[in-house]
């Protein structure tokens, strides 16, 4: 049930989601993997929208070089764990939701405990090996998975619906070479907002998900395109060979 206080707070989105949609957001538990450039943007919008439980995982502490883009981490937070820094601000933004901190590295050993009971997994990572782990977990548990990534003024996003769409590994079979990537904070705003939009849609059933399509945002030219992507029958994570292992 939506309380009087919630009716007031979420009035402008209840206009389109209805109280039933708002209740779905309230009942949802979302894993946000990463509290960096993308994670801080996504978490602000999901917290503000009233997602009932936001579980935020990150293993890093705030550094000065994060502050050009990681909007929940401020000058005074340098040296603090990113999860604590983010959770404090999100709690101040919306005390009606629950923010859970997972301060540590996501790995094979803990991913089931971290993600297993979530309705949605949102990718805000900065590396592909961890993204593949999230992707595999999403496939195994049948949890929708929203991917996003950024570099410079470019970004990309897609929504993986297990069993229905290509998985992340179908589209990107190999990790790009690691690098200290250039980035302007506003690019995280664009892609993080696309991911947050997808999350609200998936949780409430609104609209058409970004499923089977990869959006490519080009901030240099100020254009957005989407490419239809196909499943790879030989995909190590969702293809035929993976079926026996993973289900």
Rounded distance between C-alpha atoms, residue 231 and residue 204, angstroms: 26
238 binds, among another protein, Zn ion, none (CB under 5 to 8 A by kind): Zn ion
133 binds, among another protein, Zn ion, none (CB under 5 to 8 A by kind): none
Using only the alpha carbons of the chain, give its radius of gyration: 17
Among the residue ranges 96-104, 175-183, 200-208, 238-246, the one whose residues contact another protein (CB under 8 A): 175-183
The reply to whether 24 sits near Zn ion by the rule CB under 5 A is no
Which residues in 174-203 contact Zn ion (CB under 5 A)? Answer: none
Rounded distance between C-alpha atoms, residue 105 and residue 162, angstroms: 24
By beta-carbon distance, which residue lies closest to Zn ion? Answer: 235
Residues in contact with another protein, total (CB under 8 A)? 42
Closest approach of another protein to the CB of residue 160, in Å:
15
Q: Which token pair is 56?
A: 């935020």
Assess contact for 216 and 226: CB atoms under 8 A. yes
- How crowded is residue 203: how many other Cβ atoms within 10 Å of its Cβ? 24
Q: Which token pair is 195?
A: 């991911």
Contacts of residue 7, Cβ cutoff 8 Å, sequence gap at least 6 = 14, 19
The reply to whether 36 sits near another protein by the rule CB under 8 A is yes
Among the residue ranges 1-9, 77-85, 89-97, 179-187, the one whose residues contact another protein (CB under 8 A): 179-187
Count Cα atoms within 13 angstroms, Cβ side, for 64. Answer: 0
Binding residues for Zn ion (CB under 5 A): 167, 169-170, 235, 237-238
Interface contacts to another protein, rule CB under 8 A: 34, 36-39, 123-128, 148-151, 154-156, 170-179, 181, 183, 188, 216, 218, 220-221, 223, 225, 227-230, 232
């Amino acid at each position: 049930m939506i309380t009087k206080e919630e009716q007031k707070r979420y009035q402008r989105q209840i206009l389109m989601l209805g109280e039933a949609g708002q209740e779905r957001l309230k009942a949802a538990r979302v894993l946000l993997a990463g509290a960096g450039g993308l994670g801080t943007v996504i978490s602000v919008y999901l917290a503000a929208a009233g997602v009932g439980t936001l579980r935020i995982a990150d293993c890093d502490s705030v550094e000065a070089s994060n502050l050009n883009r990681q909007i929940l981490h401020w000058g005074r937070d340098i040296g603090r764990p990113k999860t604590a820094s983010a959770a404090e601000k999100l709690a101040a933004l919306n005390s009606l939701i629950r923010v859970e901190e997972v301060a540590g590295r996501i790995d094979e050993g803990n991913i089931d405990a971290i993600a297993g009971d979530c309705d949605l997994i949102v990718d805000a990572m900065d590396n592909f090996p961890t993204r593949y782990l999230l992707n595999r977990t999403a496939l195994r548990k049948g949890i929708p998975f929203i991917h996003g990534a950024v570099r410079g003024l470019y970004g990309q996003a897609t929504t993986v619906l297990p069993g229905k769409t290509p998985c992340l590994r179908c589209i990107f079979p190999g990790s790009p070479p690691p690098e200290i990537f250039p980035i302007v904070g506003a690019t995280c705003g664009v892609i993080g907002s696309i991911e947050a939009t997808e999350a609200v849609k998936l949780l409430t059933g609104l609209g058409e998900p970004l499923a089977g399509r990869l959006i490519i945002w080009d901030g240099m030219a100020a254009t957005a395109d989407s490419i239809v992507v196909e499943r790879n029958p030989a995909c190590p994570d969702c293809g035929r060979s993976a079926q026996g292992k993973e289900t």
